[in-house]
Amino acid sequence: MSVKKNIREFTLPELKEYFEAIGDKKFRAMQAYEWLWKKNARSFDDMSNLSLELRKKLAEEFELKPLTVDVTQHSSDGTLKSRFRTFDGHLIEGVIIPTEKRSTACVSSQIGCSLACKFCATGLMERKRNLHFDEIYDQVALLNEQSLKMHGTGLTNIVYMGMGEPLLNYKNVLKSIERITASDSMAMSPKRITVSTAGVAKMIRQLGDDKVRFNLALSLHAATDEKRNRIMAINETNNIAALIDALNYFYEQTKNDITLEYVLLNGENDSLEDAEDLVKVYRKIPTHLVNVIEYNSVAGIDFVKSGEDSTQIFTDYLAKHKVNVRVRRSRGKDIDAACGQLANKDKVA
Ligand code: SAH
């Protein structure tokens, strides 16, 4: 039994070599490559400028494991959530968030998540497996098509803030970004890509060593170890001091933007004392922005979002202490597309 190779593991020179070896023309390799990385072929049959015979041969030798759109839901605020099906039947979700100037895709990096942060819907699911780089790429390509169709413009930004912890699927996340930014593919600027992490210190340092060119967001959510341990178990092995060190290292190595994310949970992390702790942490990190996130309710989770008043008092305190703070209002709540709500819940009757 021969094991078929995934054709998307092949570089263009490797494909050319293969086509030559089977006695075909090199430019056919270029055509096949374009189908894979520019024209989003879902199968070898889609490659209509290749002969039937060649398509059959490719299908015999290689596999192409495409992601397909399962269901798409439209929010009243223009947010679009798509559920995708993997070749082996798993479901994952990706979102498009349109604003006046941007069309931002939020993509998943794992099927489920192993981290179990107390406030997050994905954390209630078990982690099934990592997404392969071509599956992450497919989400972006498919969301780009949807963005073009819906809004007349392709994606302008990508955030790895969907299901899963990107830094626990390091290689595939980096390879997907290599493809998204490659000139022979989508050619998106890495400056328009942000990877968000719950905080895996060792891998943040690795990003520095790898001199990546995309931006990083840290889901901080609490500014003392005692509080952070309570809501994010990952803090027990990656405490705030370790994260501060790692982020400084990342910044020294790359000079890329770092954003801190802080979801406001009523009575949990939204007091003035919490704001004071946050200012202290902010000053130790080479960051230019704290995104205060409105908490989105999740069935089965008891946290409640902070009220308007406490949100105002909290953010005013930050601003007064020279923290650049922005409040990120939720989008797509009516279809469970907002931050922390991605859990494959099917609302389609
Ligand atoms: N695992 C990565 C990627 C997920 S990003 C990370 O933790 O950064 C999703 C962002 O939404 C994270 O900042 C996450 O903490 C936040 N989030 C999770 N649940 C949420 C909820 N119910 N409401 C608002 N934000 C939430």
The tens digit of pLDDT for each residue in 224-249 reads 999 999 999 999 999 999 999 999 99
Q: Does 9 fall in a domain?
A: yes
Q: Are residues 162 and 48 in the same domain?
A: no
Q: Are residues 22 and 131 in the same domain?
A: no
Q: Are residues 192 and 56 in the same domain?
A: no
Its domain, for residue 181, covers 68-335
CA distance 132 to 16: 24
pLDDT number for residue 311:
97
Q: How many domains does the chain have?
A: 2
Q: Are residues 58 and 72 in the same domain?
A: no
For residue 248, give the 3-state DSSP assignment: helix
Q: Does 242 fall in a domain?
A: yes
158 lines ligand 1 (CB under 6 A): no
Q: Does 347 fall in a domain?
A: no
Nearest to 301 by CA among 91, 117, 58: 117
**Averaged pLDDT, 146-166:** 95
pLDDT number for residue 32:
97
Collect all residues with Cβ–Cβ distance below 8 Å to 121 and sequence separation of at least 6: 298, 299, 301, 336, 340, 341, 342, 343, 345
268 is catalytic: no
Contact by Cβ (8 Å): 5, 60: no
**Averaged pLDDT, 26-54:** 95
pLDDT number for residue 1:
53
254 lines ligand 1 (CB under 6 A): no
CA distance 316 to 84: 40
198 lines ligand 1 (CB under 6 A): yes
Q: Are residues 58 and 126 in the same domain?
A: no
219 lines ligand 1 (CB under 6 A): yes
Give the mutation target among 161, 290, 294, 311 for probing the ligand 1 site: most ligand atoms within 8 A of CB: 161
Question: CATH number, domain at 172?
Answer: 3.20.20.70
Give residue-wise pLDDT tens across range 185-226. Answer: 999 999 999 999 999 999 999 999 999 999 999 999 999 999
Contact by Cβ (8 Å): 40, 141: yes
Beta-ladder partners of 196: 217
pLDDT exceeds 50 at position 349: no
* pTM recorded for the entire structure: 0.95
**Dist. CA 295 → ligand 1 center (Å):** 9
Q: Does 251 fall in a domain?
A: yes
Give residue-wise pLDDT tens across range 100-116. Answer: 899 999 999 999 999 98
Give the mutation target among 168, 339, 342 for probing the ligand 1 site: most ligand atoms within 8 A of CB: 339
Q: Are residues 158 and 235 in the same domain?
A: yes
93 is catalytic: yes
